[in-house]
Amino acid sequence: MAENEGPTLADYWHPVAESKDVTREPRRFSLLDTEVVLFRDQDRAPVAFKDLCIHRGTPLSLGSVRGDRIVCAYHGWEYDRTGACVRIPSLAAGQPIPARARAISYHAAERYGLVWVSINDPVAPIPPFPNDEYDDDEYHAHLASHYVFQTSAGRAVENFMDWSHFPFVHPGLLAPADQVLVPPVDVSETEFGLTYTYPTVEPESPTSGAGETVLYEYYYYLPFTVHIRIVTPSGGVSYCSFIAAPSSKKTTDGYTMFVRNYALDKPDSDFDYFANRVTEQDRRIIESQRPEQIPLDWREELHLRVPDAPTIAFRRVLSRIKGISEYADV
């Protein structure tokens, strides 16, 4: 499938770390096969650079932070948060610093307990919740898990968008074992990605009563964020959200979070335990899939129009990202 001349993955925000793991001390992370150094400035805001000193190629993550500057461990070059080198100790006082003495700076922001990075100027905001529930005082939000998957972000996200595997991979958790027939579902393209709905029964979910039919409302945001808005018969609303970050072509950081306006008396650990059970069941499958990168050529895998409607649409939309073939098999 041909790619268009649209934005690249580097033009989107991706979560690179949990907020708690970004401190005043510089630390290396990975995004899109690129080494990124993150630290916090004096106002505790995250700062991101390519993990490379322009002078002799030493990782800046080996250095230290002085005020709002990161200092290279090799020759002491100091860079401000824009990437400009503002001090070279070996230069005599008054000597100009070359204009080319710049570290490569990236965009950094903090949201949902995560630090996000966009390598280029972002073409879209950090994916919001459909009705801003995350910031609504009537809702409780928490980050349930952070997993590293040995597969591509495309495989991980496609799995989260697919429900026909529920009775086989998650029997008794996300669907009864005998609920195998998949009804037709309308998948709609939006300005941010895709949306569709699907009713199911969650026999053991902490967000619904055993045997209740709940409505799953899917909101997919390019490139790798999916919110599932779960509505119970009594009108309670919760979200199970999955955000994948392609640290490399075959390694993915996956974050799961819950947001809910009921079951507030239940500890977060109930949701974490449930999420971890589901995730480990998914891990066994998605890490076994070959090729690890999601195939965008329709001839590569067999597709069924009704059961595979969401994932067919996902591959169609994803294929419009320029250069996606580097992170997908075509």
Q: What is the pLDDT of residues 156-198, one digit of tens each?
A: 999 999 989 999 999 988 888 888 988 899 999 999 999 999 9
pLDDT digits (tens, 9 = 90+) for 259-311: 999 889 989 998 899 899 999 999 999 999 999 999 988 888 999 999 999 99
Domain boundaries, the chain: 9-118, 133-329
Q: What is the pTM of this model?
A: 0.94
Q: How far apart are CA 76 and CA 60, in angstroms?
A: 10
Domain 9-118, CATH among 3.20.20.80, 3.40.190.10, 2.60.40.1120, 2.102.10.10: 2.102.10.10
What is the distance between the alpha carbons of residues 66 and 208, in angstroms, rounded to a whole number? 50
* Predicted local distance difference test score (pLDDT) of residue 3: 45
Pick among 3.90.380.10, 3.30.420.40, 3.40.50.2300, 2.60.40.1260: CATH of 133-329 = 3.90.380.10
Q: Write down the residue that tokens 């949902």 correspond to.
A: 112
> Looking at residue 90, what is its pLDDT?
96
Could you tell me if 318 and 222 are in contact, meaning their C-beta atoms sit under 8 angstroms apart? Answer: yes
> How many other CB atoms sit within 10 Å of the CB of residue 231?
16
pLDDT digits 0-9 by tens, 224-264: 999 999 998 888 999 999 999 999 999 999 999 999 998 89
